[in-house]
Amino acid sequence: MSDVSGSTRALFVHAHPDDESLWTGGTMARLARSGAEVSLVTCTWVRGTTRHGELVDAARQLELAREPIMLGYADSFVPESAPGATSFILAPFDEQVAALVEHLRSLKPHIVVTYDAYGMYGHPDHIHANRLACAAADAAAIAAYHPDLGEPWQVSSLYFITIPMTTVAQLRPHLSDASHLPIDGTHADRIDVVVDVDDCTGCKIRAIQCHKTEMARSASMKDFAALPAPEQRLFLRTEAYLRRDLVPGGAELV
């Protein structure tokens, strides 16, 4: 389980195309610019779909060196996201853990980033992604677990996406009832890391705009696009996380 390079390696585990840009785009771009190896796993949608193409375009805007890895499950609310595939939240969990462990052992990330345990706002696919990432990070380090999937790898730290309650309070007056943007948020005292991504907001906005299908469909994305400039800047310029170290000292996100 020894390290193999001097650069930080981070793996972002997201449920859907657009989540990576909306919630972690600045962090991803900042890491990539610093020379870190940044990888993305997207749990739903498949190659050949419109939203996969949009995801690839967004990843380029975030300066990722490799294309997103697609686990190939169906979005729980959009069966056509992966025709014939099982819904992400209904597929056998052990199968999913093994699939992600294989990527963890191959990519050897020091850091894994995903949603908090509530999926930020209760989306079942987000909650499931959190459970999957946590279970796979634990399993990847156990030599007896599927040795056929590669040498064991110990992730150093897990980071869970959240949003401060103060930010939610400022955004709420501008959100529609149909919006899925977070409705509660996390108290500042519980937030472990706030990443200033102000210098990456340009590529973050361009990445979000790559998701044209979701921009046209989603009430949340429409709310984001319609935010007044001060509130939109507030939403864009920082990204907040909870931190859980899996080894003493862990690994710094930025």
Any residues with CB less than 8 A from the CB of 28 and at least 6 apart, and which? 10, 12, 20, 38, 40, 62, 64
The answer to whether residue 182 scores a pLDDT higher than 70 is no
The answer to whether residue 172 scores a pLDDT higher than 50 is yes
pLDDT in tens, 93-105: 999 999 999 999 9
The answer to whether residue 4 scores a pLDDT higher than 60 is no
CATH of domain 9-245: 3.40.50.10320
Any residues with CB less than 8 A from the CB of 238 and at least 6 apart, and which? 26, 167, 194, 195, 196, 197, 198
- Give the other-Cβ count within 10 Å of 149's Cβ: 18
Q: Collapsing DSSP states into helix, strand and coil, what is residue 227?
A: coil
Residue type, 127: I
- Of the pLDDT bands very low, low, confident and very high (cuts 50, 70, 90), residue 159 is very high
pLDDT in tens, 8-62: 999 999 999 999 999 999 999 999 999 999 999 999 999 999 999 999 999 999 9
Domain boundaries, the chain: 9-245
Residue 5: its pLDDT value, please? Answer: 53
Considering only CA atoms, give the Rg of the chain: 17
Residue 79: its pLDDT value, please? Answer: 94
Residue 175: its pLDDT value, please? Answer: 79
Residue type, 221: M
pLDDT in tens, 184-230: 889 999 999 999 999 999 999 999 999 999 999 987 788 888 889 99
